[in-house]
A and B are shown apart, each in its own frame.
With several copies, the nearest count.
Chain A
Amino acid sequence: MQYIPNTEADCREMLDAIGVRSSEELFADIPSKLRLKRGLNLAPPMSETGLRRHMKGLADKNADVEHYSSFLGAGAYNHFIPAAVSHLVFRSEFYTAYTPYQPELSQGTLQAIYEYQTLICQLTGMEVANASMYDGSSALAEAILMAHRINGRLEVVLPLAVHPEYRTVCHTYVSKLGLQLDEVPYTDQGATDLKKVGAAISDRTCAVVIQSPNFFGVLESLDELAETAHKAGALLIVAVAEPVSFGIVRSPGESGADIVVGEGQAFGNHLNFGGPYLGFFASKEAYLRNMPGRLVGQTTDKAGRPGYVLTLATREQHIRREKATSNICTNEGLCALAATVHLSLLGRAGLRELALLNLRKAAYAKEAISALRSCELRFAGPTFNEFVVRVTRGTPAQMNRGLLARRIIGGVELGRFYPELSDCLLICVTEQNSREEIDALCKTMGSGR
Chain B
Amino acid sequence: FNEPLLFDQGSKGRVGCTLPECDVPELKPERLLPRKLLRRDIPGFPELSEVEVVRHFTRLSQHNYGVDLGFYPLGSCTMKYNPKINEEVWRLPGFSQAHPYQPQSLIQGALELMYELETFLAEISGMERVSLQPAAGAQGEILGMMLIRAYLESKGSPRKRVLIPDSSHGTNPASAAICGYQCVQIKSGPRGRIEPQAVADMMDEDVAAIMITNPNTLGLFEDQIADIAKIVHAKGGQVYCDGANLNAIIGISRPGDVGVDVLHFNMHKTFAVPHGGGGPGAGPVGLKAHLAPFIPIPVVEKKGKRFVLNEDLPSSIGRVRAFYGNFAALVRAYAYIRSLGPSGLRRVAEVAVLNANYIMNQLKDTYHLPYDKFCKHECVFSDARQLPHGVQTLDIAKRLMDYGFHPPTIYFPLIVRGAMMIEPTETESKETLDQFIAAMKRIAEEAERDPELVRSAPHKTKVSRLDEVKAARQPNLRWKGKAPRLP
Contacts and interface: CB of A to CB of B under 8 A. Distances in A.
In the complex they form, do A and B come into direct contact, defined as C-beta atoms under 8 angstroms apart? yes
B96 A307 contact: no
Nearest to A74: B101
A91 B58 contact: yes
Contacts of B64: 93-94, 97, 105-109
A361 B37 CA distance: 18
A308 B81 CA distance: 26
A25 B375 CA distance: 11
A112 B57 CA distance: 8
Interface string B1-30: 011011100111111111111111111010
B189 interface: no
A129 B413 CA distance: 30
A321 B3 CA distance: 36
B97 A98 contact: no
A41 B174 contact: no
Contacts of A343: 45-46
Contact of B142 (A19, A323, A327, A363): A327
B221 interface: yes
Interface string B347-373: 110110111011001100000000001
Contacts of B15: 1-2, 345-347, 349-350
Nearest to B468: A309
Contacts of B68: 92-93, 96
B220 interface: yes
Nearest to A107: B63
A405 interface: no
Interface in B397-436: 397-398, 401, 406-407, 409, 412, 426-430, 433
A1 to B, nearest CB: 7
Interface stretch (B48-56, B198-206, B233-241, B444-452): B48-56
A2 to B, nearest CB: 4
B279 A330 contact: yes
Nearest to B226: A34
Contacts of B129: none
Interface residues of B, number: 211
Interface in A342-363: 343-354, 356-357, 359-361, 363
Given A31-B223, A106-B64, A360 B53 contact: no
A64 B19 contact: no
Contacts of B476: 297-299
Contacts of B14: 5, 7, 347
Interface stretch (A196-204, A230-238, A331-339, A369-377): A331-339
Interface residues of A, number: 207
Contact of B19 (A49, A323, A359): A49
Nearest to B106: A63
Interface in A298-319: 298-303, 305-309, 311-314, 317-318
A62 B98 contact: yes
A288 B475 contact: yes
B13 A9 contact: yes
A274 B324 contact: yes
A298 to B, nearest CB: 4
Nearest to B296: A172
A180 B312 CA distance: 24
Contacts of B32: 359-360, 363, 382
Nearest to B323: A274
Interface stretch (B285-293, B335-343, B384-392): B335-343
Interface string A85-97: 0111011111111
B226 A61 contact: no
A311 B280 contact: no
B173 A317 contact: yes
B185 to A, nearest CB: 9
A58 B92 CA distance: 10
Given A42-B123, A326-B174, A344 B92 contact: no
A135 B139 CA distance: 12
A111 B477 CA distance: 11
Contacts of B355: 6, 14
Interface in A69-91: 70, 72, 74-76, 78, 80, 82-84, 86-88, 90-91
A352 to B, nearest CB: 8
Given A249-B39, A273-B107, A431-B20, A88 B478 contact: no
A340 B58 CA distance: 13
Nearest to A165: B322
Nearest to B99: A72
Contacts of B102: 62-63, 70, 72, 409
B124 interface: yes
Contacts of B178: 145, 173, 176-177, 326-327
Given A76-B323, A80-B20, A84-B50, 4 more contacts: A40-B345, A55-B89, A98-B79, A109-B278
10 tightest Cβ-Cβ pairs between the two chains A and B: A274-B323, A59-B94, A333-B278, A61-B109, A334-B276, A45-B341, A276-B280, A274-B100, A108-B64, A96-B66
13 contacts: A5-B14, A34-B226, A35-B252, A64-B93, A97-B67, A108-B64, A176-B180, A270-B97, A298-B476, A305-B463, A327-B175, A346-B17, A363-B27
